[in-house]
Chains A and B, each alone.
Chain A
Amino acid sequence: MTAALANSLCVGMMHLPSTGERRMATSERATEDLDRRLCVLMIDVQGGDRHAYAEVLRACEPVIRRAGRRAGVTDDRLNDVVQETLLTLHHARQTFDPSRSFLAWISVIAQRRAIDVMRRHGRNDRREVHAPLAYESHADAGSNSDRGWEQSGRVKILGAAIASLPDGQREAVERLALREQSLTEAAAETGKTTGALKVNLHRALKALRLRLGGESEHV
């Protein structure tokens, strides 16, 4: 699609120069230019242009973060909002109408996704308590300090059980439980969100507990 035709489709962004507009702040004009550029790029995206798509997705990231912050999402969960919104954009790209503002479109979607993320975490926070120290220092009434892991051979059993876990769960156990990395460190190295790591660790511990019949509570 030619640039001239694409520009003419983005009629929502067209403006006639007026005295008020000439006085418009530079930042507002830059936003308007970005909006029009993204609108033109989205027309190419709908046509299947991958370079345009990569540019649109990268340009969306700060816009989504701003919308997420405005909705009240904390910084550690903004990545979840960014990823959910980009996925929504991908599946809903055919619904974008070039006669409307792209930035308004993506901001509304990001705001809705931010609310979804807050609801989901709110439910998890009500059900679960993240207290790794309390978990580790909990005294097990059935434990026997005279009998070590090495003597009972349970290291091998535990090792085999961990090795049989799905990749994501095994990675969470190895990094958070065995190497004692913080959630932030593990997230930075794996590229996963802290939420995803917590969920994987929780599922892994549950699976190990089931598999080892109570012995895994020593993990």
Chain B
Amino acid sequence: MSDVTSLNPGTNGLIADLVADLQPVKRLPSPWLRAALWLGIVVVLACALATVADLSALRHRLMGAPDMWLAVLGSTATAGLAAIAAFQLGLPDRGRAWALLPLPGLALWLGASGLGCARTWFLPETHGPADGKDCMMFIIGLSVPLTVVMFAMLRRGYSLYPSLAGAVGGLAVAAAAATLLNFFHPFDAAITDLAVHATAVALVVGANRLLGGAILAPRRRARA
């Protein structure tokens, strides 16, 4: 052990201040458990939305177009993997490489959605009436409460990459909202739909990135 007298005077003073400032803290549960808790909230929300959605029409639609299953699977996987990555990035000893975790789900989501676009491009009669404004409002509107919960949970950690943690958390939020949109999306995704969805997801991720820098940044929190 280092003798206190051998420490730099400034470090000694800092240690005295930190010791005087010590308060008991509740140990943070593992990031896996916290991600599961956040996803559990999404599942509860999904169950609530399922009570007002036309589930038989949803099943019929998904059976009719296999690429839609893949797109839903991709957005669900993106939400799950991004939530895990965000809570890992919320810890000071985890590397930035965690931000790559949602990429497989994102690739599946984009790929399957692109496949749906290509089908409606060649077979335009398979595409129903689209209302991009409603889709965008749904994704952004549902993202607000999910973002509030996500940031309330991330704030208990201490991220050295706050903007990145916020952006990845935003991806989880946007992917979850886009997955839940399927309950009320009675048609396959055309290019215009896909562009609207991508814009909404990008807006949510960008807003969460800014929020991460503003709310999770260590210096601002130290002053608070």
Quick check: A105 and B93 within 8 Å, CB to CB? yes
Q: State whether the Cβ of A193 lies closer than 8 Å to any Cβ in chain B.
A: yes
Q: Which residues of B contact A164 (CB under 8 A)?
A: none
Chain A contacts with B in 42-67, Cβ cutoff 8 A:
45-48, 50, 53-55, 57-59, 61-62
Give the segment of B12-20, B122-130, B163-171 that binds chain A. Answer: B12-20
Give the segment of B23-31, B67-75, B108-116, B201-209 that binds chain A. Answer: B23-31
Chain B contacts with A in 1-17, Cβ cutoff 8 A:
1-4, 7-15
Tell me how far the C-beta of A123 lies from the nearest C-beta in chain B, rounded to whole angstroms: 16
Interface residues as binary, A126-163 with B (CB distance below 8 Å gives 1, 0 otherwise): 00000000000000000000000000000000000000
Q: Which residues of B contact A83 (CB under 8 A)?
A: 10-11, 14
Q: State whether the Cβ of A94 lies closer than 8 Å to any Cβ in chain B.
A: yes
Q: How large is the interface on B (under 10, 10 to 19, 20 to 34, 35 or more residues)?
A: 35 or more
Q: Which residues of B contact A79 (CB under 8 A)?
A: 8, 10-11
Quick check: B24 and A86 within 8 Å, CB to CB? no
Known pairs A88-B218, A92-B92, A95-B28; A57 contacts B8 (CB<8 A): no
Q: Which residues of A contact B7 (CB under 8 A)?
A: 58, 61
Known pairs A87-B14, A193-B10; A46 contacts B92 (CB<8 A): no
Interface residues as binary, A91-113 with B (CB distance below 8 Å gives 1, 0 otherwise): 11111111000001100110010
Q: For the complex, what is the distance from the CA of A48 to the CA of B27, rounded to whole Å?
A: 12
Interface residues as binary, A180-212 with B (CB distance below 8 Å gives 1, 0 otherwise): 000000001011110000000000000000000
- Chain A residue nearest to B94 (CB atoms) is A108
Select which of A54, A95, A112 is within 8 A of B157 by beta carbon: A95
Q: For the complex, what is the distance from the CA of A61 to the CA of B42, rounded to whole Å?
A: 43
Quick check: B24 and A48 within 8 Å, CB to CB? yes
Quick check: A46 and B10 within 8 Å, CB to CB? no
Quick check: B93 and A108 within 8 Å, CB to CB? yes
Tell me how far the C-beta of B14 lies from the nearest C-beta in chain A, rounded to whole angstroms: 5
Q: State whether the Cβ of A90 lies closer than 8 Å to any Cβ in chain B.
A: yes
Quick check: A55 and B1 within 8 Å, CB to CB? yes
Known pairs A94-B156, A95-B158, A191-B8; A88 contacts B92 (CB<8 A): yes
Q: State whether the Cβ of A82 lies closer than 8 Å to any Cβ in chain B.
A: yes
Interface residues as binary, B66-99 with A (CB distance below 8 Å gives 1, 0 otherwise): 0000000000000000000000000111000000
Q: Which residues of B contact A90 (CB under 8 A)?
A: 18, 21-22
Quick check: B10 and A109 within 8 Å, CB to CB? no
Q: Which residues of A contact B160 (CB under 8 A)?
A: 88, 109, 112
Q: For the complex, what is the distance from the CA of A50 to the CA of B8, rounded to whole Å?
A: 20
- Chain B residue nearest to A189 (CB atoms) is B9
Quick check: B22 and A50 within 8 Å, CB to CB? yes
Quick check: A82 and B8 within 8 Å, CB to CB? yes
Tell me how far the C-beta of A186 lies from the nearest C-beta in chain B, rounded to whole angstroms: 12
Quick check: B10 and A91 within 8 Å, CB to CB? no
- Chain B residue nearest to A49 (CB atoms) is B22
- Report the 7 A-B pairs with minimum CB-CB distance, sorted nearest first: A191-B9, A48-B24, A92-B158, A94-B25, A108-B93, A191-B10, A92-B92
Q: List 6 A-B contacts (CB under 8 A).
A: A54-B19, A79-B10, A83-B10, A83-B14, A86-B15, A191-B12
Residues of A within 8 A of B (CB): 45-48, 50, 53-55, 57-59, 61-62, 79, 82-83, 86-88, 90-98, 104-105, 108-109, 112, 188, 190-193
Residues of B within 8 A of A (CB): 1-4, 7-15, 18-28, 30, 91-93, 156-158, 160, 218, 221-222
